[in-house]
Structure 1
Amino acid sequence: MKIHISSKKQIIQVLMLFVVPLVVFLGVYNFYTVRAMNDRIAESGRSTVYLYQTSLEKDLGDIDIFMANLVAGDANYQQLRYRMDPMEAHLCAKEITDRYQELITTKQIIGGMFLFLDQNELYRERYGGSYSYEQKTALEQYLRELTRSEPTVGKDWFVHRVGEIPFLLRVLGSNGAYSICAVDLNRLSKPQDTADYENGVLFYADGEGEILTARDWAAEIGVDPATHARDPYYLTRGPQEYLAVQSFSEAAGIWFVYLLPYKGILNHLDFIQILLLAVSVFILVLIPISYYLLKRLFFTPMEQLVKTMNAIKSGDLEAKMDSDYRIVEFKQVSDTFNEMMGEIKELKISAYEKELELQQAQLQYLQIQIRPHFFLNCLKNLYALAQERQFGQIQQMILALSDYLRCLFRDNMKLVPLADELRNVCNYMRLQRMSASSPPVCEVEAEEGLADFRIPPLSLLTFVENSVKHASLPGEELRITIRAIRLETEEERYVNLSVTDNGSGFPPDRLEELNSAGQVAYSEQCVGIMNVKHRFALLYQGKCVFSFRNLQKGSSIEIFIPDEEERK
């Protein structure tokens, strides 16, 4: 089965065959370019981190060697592990602290060296920096508790914070004799110590990712080493954007985090790369502009053409296409289409006029069928009166008949007011009262405001005449009731005309035929009724509804006519 697709979708699909691959290519290329630039910047940062990390790990290795030699091979330290004379213990401790001082002088990162000797109740320290009394007291108290519990003795370097000062601690010793080194992380050399602050910032975090140096500033720019532990680099989301490179030192047990101010990718691209990036942005901007132009020049005219055709399909022959188009082909199609619709309209008017002529001929033929039927009845009645020599009644009947014929011989091709039709019925009933020995009784109930409602002539009269002719029962007075009321539904308003009698009713087979939707065969008894139905069908285009039914005694005929403002 062939699949149909609109021209709009077809054009867009063709354009997408070229645009999408190009946009994807440029997007991938730009992504690769940005990624390559970031990798290059990150590689520079990693080199800086490597330099400072290697320097710290070398210093820590030197300190480890010094402390290991001291604990394992220094004679003074070995003697101090046992109880000895206070003076000799003091001299041995001084020898050790002098070596401490030499190491502190060599390694500027050391904040302090500490010696704890429980056997000789000695505590000695050497500080490599200026610390307050409270800081020294807090550090000493922590170290005393640490050597008593011995949880970290002999293990790697670990972090402990004293106030705002983070220390890397190393504890060696046993049996109450301990040598401790405290490296002050604030004393480590950093890029911001020797260069412009804008060129990069290095700070440290413990193994859990908690910031150790520059804590407030790092928290403000959104640094999180633990979350990005596996990332080669990442961008911060603070007030100023930074590219963060970090590395974990197994020897020190801390993170080295290096931040480079991220000034945007354009500052790191060459001319060709910037040009390609600008072309990519330009193409992306051209996509909605191109769609707008396509919509204005092609899609909108096509949509208007389809809309105009749908309007014409719905019956609006006045609909025309706009011919003010910039595309020559659309203007030609529009002009040709409008000319074609003008010719179609003229042909349709001509065909409609011929159809009206045919309908008028059919109506005239139906009217002619009714007139002889009624005239014969009147002549029979006059003949009966003449036989009885009732010349006065004949005169009155001729006057009544002349009034009736005056209405009858008007232009019956047009609709007449309901009041005129009811007046015609009254004339007919006068004729019946003059000629019949048991004349029928007719009652009229018309809703106020329906006097000018227009209906086909001789319509109600035909049903009244049919009741008089076929519904009368011997020995009973025939009563005929005519009602005219308005009915209103949610969708439309109708005028309901009904003719009811108390006669014999319709034969069942004839009743079924009268209520059928198809054509009903003519018969001698129903020629008038079929004429009325035919005329209503022609005049109201099938919108009028007839209902025939038998009552408990008699019959009822109802007509439902659309209530329009004016019908000529």
Structure 2
Amino acid sequence: MKDKILLKHKILFSIFGVIILFSLVFGTGMRMAIKQIEQQIAKSNNASLQVYYNTLQSEIERSEVFITNTVYHNDAFDQFLALREDPGRSPFVGEIMDRFSEELKDNQDVAAYLLYDTGTGVRGSVFNSIVGYGSVKEEITDSFGTFLEEEEVPLGWFIKRIGSRSFLCRVMERDNTFVVGIYDLPQASKNAKLFYSYEGEIVFFNNQEIFSNEDFIQKNGIYLNYLDDSDYYFSNSKNYMVVQKQLIHFKVALISEFYNSSVVLKFLYMSPYLYIALGFVTVWILIGYLKSILFRPMDSLVQAMQKIEEGDLNVRVEEQGGREFQKVQQAFNHMISEITTLKIKSYEQQIAREKAQLYALKMQIRPHFFLNCLKSIFGLAQSEKIG
């Protein structure tokens, strides 16, 4: 019987142990697998962003070379400056504009090229056909005209906001004549989606501002970390994965939905927590099992023994726990009953013995008392007679 009991508990504890080990091992394994999935998706997104980054960087470099060549190494521009006071220089303006138009055909992310002669007020502009600005064209032209005449022009590439749009700009000047190349960053983000079909959104930003897809960022509450140089990071409790690269003095980021992008991915991501929860539930069940078959019956026995030690033989143990403990409790109750019966019989025998002794004592006392009484009477009579 003892061997069967031990075997039963060994099997139960082995099952609990296997479940807990399974939960821990598979939970850890799935977490590592999810980490690998994260890294693979981030690697893919980084590769996609790298393609666009390389394209954008080459376009910016090409614009830099184009503007430099136009300002310093172009015959039409030289003639335009040489004939500044001559009304007949307009053909050279047209030639410069044609040169701008040809460049826009091959450099799709450039929104416009502008020409400003602040000395004579001559202006020219060419806009990319994809942009389709409408009335915004006049805003851009007028804004840059005022900007070049009234403000100190920054060196190199810089960001300029006109209305609700942000523009990446490059200005070169020669003899108070400026050539301006403009990247419309919101449109550049749309072009990236159009030309490269990214699973996500392209965002330009720096520490203070978001230059494109601002509505998308605000709507989803996405946090962008300009100082993060890791391969990827998550925003909004892993709802969005962010990969980013430095471009001039701002960053370009590819933001893709991660956690909610796939039901399978969501399940895989939750599975480690499910396995860990299974382990905790198993431990809780094991503790409850031990409490029901061991701790409660043991406490009950200990309390009963304390009452017996205090002299209370009426106490009985409630049968609970496993069959083994129930048998122990039945034996304990039977033992207490036998002890109570034996004690009662002992009391009864002792009382009977005391009664018999008392009766015998009474029988011994009665004759002597009668004889003494007679002797006393006889003694009194003799005394009366003598007197």
Into which bin does the TM-score normalised by the smaller protein fall?
0.7 to 0.9
CA RMSD between the two structures: 4.0
- C-alpha distance 349-175 of structure 1, shift in aligned 2 (>3 A): farther
Q: Name the structure 2 match of 1:305.
A: 301
Q: Name the structure 2 match of 1:91.
A: 91
Q: Name the structure 2 match of 1:207.
A: 206
Moved more, 202-211 or 50-59: 202-211
- For 2:303, the aligned partner's letter is K
Q: Name the structure 1 match of 2:117.
A: 117
Q: Name the structure 2 match of 1:72.
A: 72
Structure with higher RCO (Cα < 8 A, 6+ apart): 2
Q: In the alignment, is the contact (CA less than 8 A) between 2:205 and 2:212 conserved in 1? A: no
Q: Name the structure 1 match of 2:290.
A: 294
Question: 1:332-371 maps to which residues of 2 (within 5 A)?
Answer: 332-346=327-341
Say which SS state the counterpart of residue 96 (structure 2) adopts: helix
- For 1:345, the aligned partner's letter is T
Q: Name the structure 1 match of 2:143.
A: 142
Q: In the alignment, is the contact (CA less than 8 A) between 1:202 and 1:259 conserved in 2? A: yes
- C-alpha distance 90-356 of structure 1, shift in aligned 2 (>3 A): farther
Q: Structure 2 unaligned segments of length 5 or more: list them.
A: 1-12, 353-387
Q: In the alignment, is the contact (CA less than 8 A) between 2:241 and 2:257 conserved in 1? A: yes
Q: Offset of 1:182 from its aligned partner?
A: 0.9
- For 1:206, the aligned partner's letter is F
- For 1:121, the aligned partner's letter is G
2:246 matches 1:249: yes
Rounded Cα–Cα distance in structure 1 between residues aligned with 2:159 and 2:301: 80
Say which SS state the counterpart of residue 317 (structure 2) adopts: coil
- C-alpha distance 194-255 of structure 1, shift in aligned 2 (>3 A): closer
Deviations, residues 186-225 of structure 1 (Å, cap 9, x unaligned): 43355643688xx722221321263333322321222121
TM-score by length of structure 1 reads 0.51
2:183 matches 1:166: no
- For 1:119, the aligned partner's letter is G
Bigger proportion of residues as helix: 2
Q: In the alignment, is the contact (CA less than 8 A) between 1:139 and 1:162 conserved in 2? A: yes
2:133 matches 1:131: yes
Rounded Cα–Cα distance in structure 1 between residues aligned with 2:311 and 2:204: 81
Q: In the alignment, is the contact (CA less than 8 A) between 2:125 and 2:141 conserved in 1? A: no
Q: Offset of 1:259 from its aligned partner?
A: 1.1
Percent identical pairs in the alignment equals 19
Aligned residues: 340
Q: Structure 1 unaligned segments of length 5 or more: list them.
A: 1-12, 358-568
Rounded Cα–Cα distance in structure 1 between residues aligned with 2:195 and 2:252: 21
Q: Name the structure 2 match of 1:323.
A: 319
Deviations, residues 272-296 of structure 1 (Å, cap 9, x unaligned): x999997666444433233332222
Rounded Cα–Cα distance in structure 2 between residues aligned with 1:231 and 1:305: 63
Rounded Cα–Cα distance in structure 2 between residues aligned with 1:127 and 1:60: 16
- C-alpha distance 63-292 of structure 1, shift in aligned 2 (>3 A): same
Question: 1:497-508 maps to which residues of 2 (within 5 A)?
Answer: none
TM-score by length of structure 2 reads 0.72
Q: In the alignment, is the contact (CA less than 8 A) between 2:57 and 2:247 conserved in 1? A: no
Deviations, residues 36-63 of structure 1 (Å, cap 9, x unaligned): 1111111111111111111111111111
Rounded Cα–Cα distance in structure 1 between residues aligned with 2:349 and 2:80: 136
- C-alpha distance 180-353 of structure 1, shift in aligned 2 (>3 A): farther
Q: In the alignment, is the contact (CA less than 8 A) between 1:242 and 1:261 conserved in 2? A: yes
Rounded Cα–Cα distance in structure 2 between residues aligned with 1:73 and 1:166: 30
Rounded Cα–Cα distance in structure 1 between residues aligned with 2:22 and 2:69: 68
Q: Offset of 1:181 from its aligned partner?
A: 0.8
Rounded Cα–Cα distance in structure 1 between residues aligned with 2:192 and 2:83: 49
